[in-house]
A and B are shown apart, each in its own frame.
Chain A
Amino acid sequence: MTGFASALWAETLKMIRSKVPLFCLIGFSMAPLAGGLFMIILKNPEAARSMGLISTKAHIMAGTADWPAFFNLLTQAVAAGGAILFAIITIWVFGREFSDHTVKELLALPTSREAIVTAKFIVIAVWTLAMTLFIFVLGLIVGSLVVIPGGSLELARTAFINILGTAVLTFPLMSFVALIASAGRGYLPPFGWTIFTLVLANIAAVMGWGDWFPWAIPGLFSGAAGPRTGQLGLHSYVIVILASLIGLVATFYWWREADQTR
């Protein structure tokens, strides 16, 4: 793949200079911060009520004031928030080339189009992984500051695997977002796609077909609809991989073959 290192350098520089990933990080940080607030409310419902805070909502969202509930909240935030925030990053990385008409500067170069697309996916992967690790670490800090009871190293390890697993299942599906951002030549079509898949994922989960619908699987893995054992099977992971590969191959194909008129 000619020029991959150069493409990676260029994509990294664009990501560093952009404000979008930073805003996504700030948005994602809301999950552990809100989780911490819920823990405070659940620990002291009377005090929270006297301060005007709604303990009922916190109770519905988090359940009890302990580390398992807190981690559960974080994992579900990664599943729901990740689907949106990872998509925003992907939309930015791919869609902006068309909205800003910069794509035409990337096509007739010694650096191959495959190298550019690969570099884009790698930058997205690194950034989404970094965001996930960040909110896990921030969660640990917030949880420690709030002094949530019931913590253990084993619990933290399991939570880490759950959060990371949810992110790892969410990220590959971004290949479709990349495809639609490219083929749709901008921001709106992939954003519409993201909302569409989120709605469909919820419907599929409610209907009991979530384990067969790729976009519902990260949410089921996170425990949003109860323990994942029994809800997901090997076929679910295979479907995520297959769907992601279809999106990935289609994105590469589109960049190589489609007419670029922007």
Chain B
Amino acid sequence: MEFAIETNGLTKRFGDVTAVASVNLRVKCGEIYGFLGLNGAGKTTTIRALLGMIRPGEGNVFVLGQTVGPHGRGPWSKVGHLVESPSPYPELSVRENLDVARRLHGIRNPKVVDEIIGGLALASYANRKAGTLSTGNLQRLGLARALLHEPELLILDEPANGLDPAGVIEIRELLRTLAHEKGVTIFMSSHILTEVDRLATRIGIIHKGRLIEELDTDKLEKLRSKRLEVRTRNLEAAQSGLQRVGYGSIIQDGTILIEDARAIEHPDDIAQILVKDGTPPIHLALEQQNLEEHFMQLTGGVK
């Protein structure tokens, strides 16, 4: 089995509204796939189709090599999920909620509940009713439910939602560990682009129901690459001076852009060269083009 998730021409319409149109997803086993899109782009509809919660109007969905639906059929004992915000039973305690999930997953060993409570730092809230939890702890409970049965595939909608900065880092490391050490495939949507950028090995961008781009590792690396931005009072003279000592550059929007690794590691050398050439820098900054810029360009959003 090469792909943990595969959709072919996945299309879903609600009345006149096409929520998802001809989405072809391929998520390899062991991959961390970031699924990006603006509100209403079709992320949650896609996730619900992956989980058999909605029936595709057209196309088909395979999860872990098995056809999803009809009749809610799927490899659910191997899939953990968190769809939109977590919704535990408010009148049940954290432990009881997880015990319900344990039983519905057919796990006999009750100790898994204690283990996951410990693993997600929920021990001090174990006997507290879920309805009284903070947003961050609700998110932890949702993740605990998703991870309880040690799934092979995690489908997570906004996993970092509501977590404080320490919690975000903790969950990021947890997911990274699961992917790298246990080979868990992670399919996660997020609005927090920096989170996806830091974690994902591949990214899909969905816009107006269509998967408009997939960024693989190479393209992501390129996106993440740094560059040195230089501005002087005489750009052409400065560029020539840099060229003479072996630093290639381009001029864009009144700025010299240098992607040479030596320049990025030693921007002070560039400053010295420019000063010696009589074209001292009036601006020298190490910049990183990021996913956010790319995403905004693609989706036409305003940064």
Write the residues of chain A forming the contact surface with B, with a CB cutoff of 8 angstroms: 2-3, 6-7, 9-10, 13-14, 17-19, 100-102, 104-113, 256-257, 259-261
Contact = CB atoms under 8 A, between A and B. Distances in A.
Closest 9 pairs (CB-CB, A-B): A6-B103, A101-B87, A259-B54, A108-B51, A110-B77, A260-B53, A111-B104, A10-B100, A17-B91
B90 A100 contact: yes
A6 B91 contact: no
Contacts of A105: 87-88, 101, 145
Contacts of A7: 104
A17 B127 CA distance: 13
A102 B138 CA distance: 13
B65 interface: no
A14 B72 contact: no
B83 A13 contact: no
A111 B106 contact: yes
A6 B81 contact: no
B91 A14 contact: yes
Nearest to A20: B91
B76 A109 contact: yes
Given A108-B74, A110-B105, A257-B55, 6 more contacts: A6-B106, A10-B100, A13-B99, A102-B89, A109-B104, A259-B53
Interface string B84-123: 1101111110001001110111100000000000000000
Contacts of A101: 84-85, 87
B30 interface: no
A109 B75 CA distance: 8
Contacts of B105: 109-111
Given A18-B91, A101-B87, A108-B74, A10 B103 contact: yes
Contacts of A106: 104
Given A6-B106, A105-B101, A109-B105, A13 B96 contact: yes
A106 B101 CA distance: 9
Nearest to A19: B91
A256 B89 contact: no
